[in-house]
Amino acid sequence: MTERKTTYLTTAIDYANGPPHMGHALEKIGADAMARYRRLKGEDVRLVIGMDEHGLNVLQSATAAGISPQQWVDNLADRFRDTWKRLGISNDDFIRTTEPRHKRAVEALIERIAAAGDLYRGTYAGYYCVGCESYKGEDELVPVAEAGAGSAGSAGTATAGAAQAGQREVHHLRCPLHPTRTLLWMEESNWFFRLSRFQEPLLRLLDERPEFIQPEIRRNEIRRVIEGGLEDISVSRARLPWGVPWPGDPEHTVYVWIDALTNYLSAVGFPDPDYTRWWPAELHVIGKDITRFHCIYWPAMLMSAGLELPRGVWAHGFLTFEGRRFSKSAGVWVELDDAIARHGPDAFRYYLLREVPWNGDGDFSWTRFDERYTADLADDLGNLVNRTLSMIERYRAGVVPAGARTSLDERAAVVLDAYRAAMDANLLHQGAAAAMELASAANAFVVERAPWQQVKDPALASELDTTLGSLARALATLATLLEPFMPGKMAELASRLGLERVPRLVELPTMDLAGRNIARGEVLFPKERK
RNA sequence: GGCAGGGUAGCUCAGCCGGUUAGAGCACGGCACUCAUAAUGCCGGGGUCGCGGGUUCGAGUCCCGCCCCUGCUACCA
């Protein structure tokens, strides 16, 4: 017997410093479409979404709100979970970094890296802005007009063996965000990870497995970074209470990145042996801004720990609003709830996935959204459904007739090939476009066959059967192909065709709907009259 | 500065290794049809393919220079 292919897909866990927004939604919707497509192919898919709940920002936000950090992240987790549910995201798990199962995995991973000899005690030194409560790179700072004696040394370098921690005031630079505060040069004893050791192995990885980072643009960027040389990174923080305590050194907490990345393992049960049922992950779906962490730090950590690497990382692009960067303070902003409410969650999903290239950046605009909704969903697809079901109801008493295959079935086969090619390459926007071609072809087919003429002539009864049968199959095919994009509406469409669920991809070529009782129902994508 | 990607109809974009009159969708105009959400189908108008050189029988499609846009340029998702 053949075992079903298991596929583990992850998304970036979202930082618990604010409610879900459009950017979060784009990633989850895209990842969900990828997961749903693979399920339609018959794979056993596990899609995981989650929250990154440690760190200084969380602690500060909670304190400002007058609640405990745990209460704070609990509230946000509920909001995110609710949003994903409303958007029809089919995640199988929701991992949170404050969960015991996660802490356990982080400890186990660190112990493995330590056993490999890739952790050591060192000193992290850098400019520290008290106003920002964070370290600053030199390029983030501005010189003070009367440049005094400079303090030598670049920010953020590790000095192995240096033991003493300290701080002193810096007077020749200042933080542009807090110009009145005195900048500090701080040294902190931390744990370091020997990232430098993995420069060559990582370059080999990119050579041997070019598909590891997709799309290709991101791979080139990462290669440049690696070729530029890798320095060891500090992976623990002192004085940060809201985090996973460092194993064996509770004065420190695990640095946010190490903590967060490990979620991909903890969500499948690591270090319990059966985590390998899902690991290695098929794809980490992330934003293009965090490729470095997923394509350099993460594989290096896994190599060190002797664990398998994920098969790939997919970096999607970003969204602009009417051509400009999202910025709440500048008023360039769309509330996610408003976007969902406009035409419903399925239409919102369709718009984002059809309009925004999944391998690049895209734009959200209300005008385009409305145009897509009207042209694609209401007029093209929705009307096709309505007119087809109406004719089956009127001409054949609501029962799909048996009919020979037609040019429309041939067209559906061609569309299916193009669709699979696009979806297998993770080009979701092309997959959606391919599917919609079938809707257009079906509309043209209706006019060509003119069933309202066929029904008038009893001699053409079998011709009419052929027309309606073929149209019903086209609708079922559309329900399948568009299910990853609009799961709610397509399940509804399948139901109206008398199907208990959307057909799988392999079932499409031999599918026969003859004898099924259809239900016309309400218009699938109503147009609001204004 | 360096590296990478991009500048093609009003808008969003396709255009493999160079080859007849540069394509699609949307928007716009005309015609047809009536099953349907005043929906659908067909036809059409519309482009100096960023700018300037070069290679070639022939270049959005290759080479050189320039202009403009975007991303990356390592520990803060």
Give the pLDDT confidence of A255-314 residue by residue, as tens digits.
888 999 999 999 999 999 999 999 999 999 999 889 999 999 999 999 999 999 999 999
Residue A481, pLDDT score? 97
Task: Out of A190-194, A319-323, A457-461, pick the least confident.
Answer: A319-323
Which A residues 63-92 have CB within 7 Å of strand B?
none
Q: What is the CB neighbour count within 10 angstroms for residue A85?
A: 12
Answer whether any strand B atom is within 7 A of the Cβ of A327: no
Name which residue leads in pLDDT, A504 or A3: A504
A353, A421, A423, A496, A523 from A359: Cα distances, Å: 11, 15, 12, 34, 33
Residue A4, pLDDT score? 84
Mean pLDDT along residues A198-216:
90
Instruction: Tell which phi-psi region holds residue A193, choosing left (phi > 0), alpha (psi between -120 and 50) or beta.
Output: beta
Mean pLDDT along residues A95-118:
97
Give the closest nucleotide to A520 (alpha carbon vs C1'): B36
DSSP A205-239: HHHH-GGGEESHHHHHHHHHHHHT----EE-EEES
Residue A321, pLDDT score? 86
- C-alpha to C-alpha distance for A85 and A480, rounded to whole angstroms: 21
The tokens describing A392, both together, are 């089956």
pLDDT of residue A161 exceeding 80, the answer is no
Answer whether any strand B atom is within 7 A of the Cβ of A261: yes
- C-alpha to C-alpha distance for A44 and A73, rounded to whole angstroms: 31
Residue A72, pLDDT score? 95
Estimate in Å the CA A50 to C1' B35 gap, whole number: 48
Answer whether any strand B atom is within 7 A of the Cβ of A530: no
Residue of A195, A198, A315, A307 lying closest to A257 (CA atoms): A195
Residue A330, pLDDT score? 76
Residue A332, pLDDT score? 80
- Residue A207's pLDDT band (boundaries 50, 70, 90)? confident
Give the closest nucleotide to A259 (alpha carbon vs C1'): B77
Q: Which nucleotides of B are covered by protein (CB under 7 A)?
A: 2-5, 11-14, 25-27, 32-42, 70-77
Cα-only R_g, chain A: 28
Answer whether any strand B atom is within 7 A of the Cβ of A6: no
Estimate in Å the CA A422 to C1' B58 gap, whole number: 34
Residue A478, pLDDT score? 97
Task: Out of A138-142, A203-207, A353-357, A372-376, pick the least confident.
Answer: A138-142
Task: Out of A154-168, A185-199, A237-251, A376-390, pick the least confident.
Answer: A154-168
Residue A160, pLDDT score? 36
Task: Out of A162-166, A435-439, A499-503, pick the least confident.
Answer: A162-166
Task: Out of A5-9, A25-29, A151-155, pick the least confident.
Answer: A151-155
Q: Is the pTM of this model over 0.80?
A: yes
pLDDT of residue A170 exceeding 70, the answer is yes
Residue A331, pLDDT score? 79
Residue A128, pLDDT score? 74
Residue A399, pLDDT score? 98
Residue of A504, A501, A479, A500 lying closest to A490 (CA atoms): A479
Estimate in Å the CA A430 to C1' B70 gap, whole number: 22
Estimate in Å the CA A217 to C1' B26 gap, whole number: 29
- Residue A217's pLDDT band (boundaries 50, 70, 90)? confident
Residue of A43, A4, A50, A46 lying closest to A27 (CA atoms): A50
Computed over every residue of chain A, the mean pLDDT equals 89
- Residue A132's pLDDT band (boundaries 50, 70, 90)? low
Q: What is the pLDDT of residues A22-50, one digit of tens each?
A: 989 999 999 999 999 999 999 999 999 99
pLDDT of residue A131 exceeding 90, the answer is no
By CB atoms closer than 10 A (0-12, 13-18, 19+), residue A143 is exposed
Mean pLDDT along residues A109-126:
92
Residue A153, pLDDT score? 36
Task: Out of A159-163, A401-405, A440-444, pick the least confident.
Answer: A159-163
pLDDT of residue A152 exceeding 80, the answer is no
pLDDT of residue A179 exceeding 80, the answer is no
- Residue A56's pLDDT band (boundaries 50, 70, 90)? confident
Residue A221, pLDDT score? 85
Mean pLDDT along residues A60-68:
93
% of chain A surpassing 90 pLDDT: 68
Q: How many residues does chain A have?
A: 530
Mean pLDDT along residues A375-398:
97
Answer whether any strand B atom is within 7 A of the Cβ of A303: no
Answer whether any strand B atom is within 7 A of the Cβ of A526: yes
pLDDT of residue A92 exceeding 90, the answer is yes
- C-alpha to C-alpha distance for A391 and A516, rounded to whole angstroms: 14
Q: What is the pLDDT of residues A324-374, one digit of tens each?
A: 788 777 778 889 999 999 999 999 999 999 988 888 888 888 988 999 999
DSSP assigned state of A511: -
Residue A139, pLDDT score? 62
Name which residue leads in pLDDT, A494 or A227: A494
- Residue type present at position A209: R
Q: Which residues of A263-283 are buried (b: 16+ CB within 10 A; e: fewer)?
A: bbbbbbbbbeeebeebbbbbb
pLDDT of residue A390 exceeding 70, the answer is yes
- C-alpha to C-alpha distance for A254 and A245, rounded to whole angstroms: 6
Answer whether any strand B atom is within 7 A of the Cβ of A452: yes
A96: helix, coil or strand? strand
Give the closest nucleotide to A134 (alpha carbon vs C1'): B76
